[in-house]
Amino acid sequence: MTELLLQIAFAILAAALLLGFYRLAKGPTAVDRILAFDAVVLCAVAMTVLLSRWWQSAHYMELILIVSTLGFFGAVAFVLFLQRSMPYGGGEESEESENKEER
């Protein structure tokens, strides 16, 4: 029973990973690509956890920690890059606040 549940969860995560890669390649904005990258990393970590559980091995804990940390720092780096490259730190909110101040 446990093996069947692991297989089902692995299949769902594989589908989510493929959808994340699609959004990463096709995303209309850079923010969509950042979120897709974060989702892909999350799915990869979850798949590694499932494989570790399925093979009943604790040797993959270091890999799980390293990949999740790299994914976090990668997402933070993307956000900082976007924040510096976009005028006024993101654009949309600053334009809305300027319009509210004028009214």
Closest CA to 14 of 52, 53, 40: 40
75 phi and psi angles, rounded to 5 deg: -65, -40
Residue-by-residue DSSP string for 37-95: HHHHHHHHHHHHHHHHHHTT--TTHHHHHHHHHHHHHHHHHHHHHHHHHSGGGTSHHHH
pTM for the whole structure: 0.75
pLDDT digit of tens for each residue in the chain (103 aa)?
789 999 999 999 999 999 999 999 998 988 899 999 999 999 999 999 999 999 988 889 999 999 999 999 999 998 898 888 877 655 455 555 556 666 6
Query: DSSP code of 101?
Result: H
Domains and their CATH numbers in the chain? 2-102 (1.10.287)
> Count of alpha carbons within 13 Å of 31, Cβ hemisphere only?
5
Closest CA to 82 of 30, 39, 33, 7: 30
